[in-house]
């Protein structure tokens, strides 16, 4: 006869669970810490070494207006432009690779921020999700947007006409936005080993909410993105930086909205997206807190209602045109065109 193993008490099970959580915290902390330190080192090691050398070896022959503190402040003040110039020089050597890395970092950071605002801690942080998001940015967003930006610059510039920027913004936030959302969903779905049919259902369901979400923020941002104020090789860096800003705004608003509703209705259950693994962080937040999937305007309507709905959502695309013209005049004043 086989002796049955003694049944674990509730206290023992709780102790095992606590140990597992502690292990997860240490693993997540070690991974995130090493990533953070490696990024900081790659970005700032030259400046840090220069500051260490400054305080260790001095300045040699100094003029009256030169001090160690003054030189250190000057080094730090030039840091942002130095980083941009270094990035621009790297992009020229291998544009697709470095733009892919840019989008990979931005997408991973965006997912990290969205999880933080969702209340996740080191004990339940979903690192694989962030890595999948970063991989989708690296594989899809960076290389695809590199070719898309070059295409618009070559075929939609119309010899630098002021309205050409509006054409680029409109094309980017309609045809390209739908395609990019689908590409992102399929890449994430493949990495998560989901069935293509389920991913395709997500794409069809979220295409319109994705456009609406984009139109709330990007038209006015892209008046800068596609202008002559941002060099072609830096446009993707600008867009990815604004993507992180957009995720942060949506995450903060979503968290505040959820907390406010829970105070009024303690039993309120937020509507969850069926499977958010294929959604970009901004869209996931948008769908969750605004309950986009249950809005009435997703249901079939007659032509007048559909037109009214589209116009109410697309007003930023209309309102951006005076901004475009004013920006074009400023470009002339500052000699950018």
pLDDT tens per residue, range 157-168: 998 899 999 999
Decide if 172 is inside a domain: yes
Of residues 117 and 179, the one with the higher pLDDT is 179
pLDDT band at 66 (very low <50, low <70, confident <90, very high): low
Q: 138 and 66 in one domain?
A: no
Q: 45 and 189 in one domain?
A: no
Long-range contacts of range 121-129, CB-CB < 8 Å, 24 or more positions apart? 121/25, 122/24, 122/25, 122/28, 122/29, 122/32, 123/21, 123/24, 123/25, 123/28, 124/24, 125/28, 125/32, 127/28, 127/31, 127/32, 129/277
User: Which pLDDT tens digit goes with each residue over 211-226?
Assistant: 888 888 899 999 999 9
Q: Enter the DSSP assignment of 244.
A: H
* The token pair that represents 270 in the structure block: 């937020």
The pLDDT of residue 303 is above 70: no
- Which range, of 71-80, 81-90, 258-267, 306-315, averages the lowest pLDDT? 258-267
Between CA 247 and CA 87 the distance in angstroms is 23
pLDDT band at 124 (very low <50, low <70, confident <90, very high): confident
The pLDDT of residue 25 is above 80: no
Q: 126 and 171 in one domain?
A: yes
Q: Hunting for tokens 């990495």 — which residue is that?
A: 191
Domain end call among 25, 46, 77: 77
- pTM over cut 0.95: no
Q: 114 and 51 in one domain?
A: no
Q: What is the mean pLDDT of residues 125-152?
A: 92
Comparing CA positions, the residue from 208, 212, 242, 210 lying closest to residue 225 is: 242
* The token pair that represents 32 in the structure block: 């995130």
Between CA 333 and CA 73 the distance in angstroms is 32
Q: Hunting for tokens 């069935």 — which residue is that?
A: 195
Q: Enter the DSSP assignment of 168.
A: H
Residue 294: Cβ-neighbour burial (10 angstroms; 0-12, 13-18, 19+) = exposed
Query: Contact, 221 vs 242, CB < 8 A?
Result: yes
Decide if 43 is inside a domain: yes
Decide if 277 is inside a domain: yes
Look up the domain containing 42 and give its range: 8-77
Q: 145 and 279 in one domain?
A: yes
Q: 207 and 125 in one domain?
A: yes
Decide if 137 is inside a domain: yes
Decide if 213 is inside a domain: yes
Q: 105 and 63 in one domain?
A: no
Over its C-alpha atoms, the chain yields an Rg (Å, rounded) of 25
Comparing CA positions, the residue from 291, 282, 316, 294 lying closest to residue 180 is: 282
Q: 136 and 18 in one domain?
A: no
Decide if 84 is inside a domain: no
User: How many domains does one find in the chain?
Assistant: 2
Q: 143 and 12 in one domain?
A: no
Q: 63 and 116 in one domain?
A: no
């Amino acid at each position: 006869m086989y002796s049955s193993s003694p049944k674990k008490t509730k206290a023992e099970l709780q102790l095992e669970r606590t140990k597992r959580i502690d292990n997860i915290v240490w693993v997540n902390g070690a991974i995130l810490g090493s990533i953070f330190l490696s990024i900081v080192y790659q970005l700032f090691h030259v400046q840090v070494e220069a500051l260490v050398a400054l305080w260790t070896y001095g300045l040699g022959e100094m003029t009256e207006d030169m001090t160690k503190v003054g030189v250190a402040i000057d080094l730090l003040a030039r840091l942002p432009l130095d980083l941009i110039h270094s990035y621009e020089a790297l992009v020229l050597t291998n544009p697709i690779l470095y733009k892919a890395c840019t989008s990979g970092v931005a997408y991973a950071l965006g997912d990290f921020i969205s999880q933080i605002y969702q209340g996740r801690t080191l004990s339940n942080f979903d690192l694989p999700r962030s890595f999948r998001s970063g991989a989708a940015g690296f594989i899809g967003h960076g290389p695809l947007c590199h070719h898309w930006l070059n295409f618009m610059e070559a075929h939609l510039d119309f010899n630098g006409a002021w309205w050409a920027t509006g054409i680029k913004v409109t094309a980017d936030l309609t045809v390209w936005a739908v395609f990019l959302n689908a590409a992102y969903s399929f890449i994430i779905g493949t990495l998560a080993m989901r069935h293509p049919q389920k991913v395709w259902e997500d794409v069809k369901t979220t295409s319109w909410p994705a456009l609406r979400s984009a139109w709330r923020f990007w038209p006015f941002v892209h008046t800068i993105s596609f202008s002559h104020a941002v060099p072609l090789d830096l446009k993707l860096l600008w867009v990815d930086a604004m993507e992180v800003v957009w995720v942060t705004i949506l995450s903060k608003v979503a968290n505040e909205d959820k907390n406010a509703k829970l105070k009024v209705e303690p039993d309120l259950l937020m509507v969850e997206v069926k499977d958010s693994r294929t959604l970009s962080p901004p869209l996931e937040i948008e769908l969750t807190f605004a309950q986009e999937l249950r809005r009435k305007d997703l249901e079939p309507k007659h032509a007048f209602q559909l037109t009214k709905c589209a116009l109410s959502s697309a007003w930023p695309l209309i309102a951006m045109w005076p901004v475009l013209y004013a920006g074009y005049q400023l470009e002339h004043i500052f000699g950018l065109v």
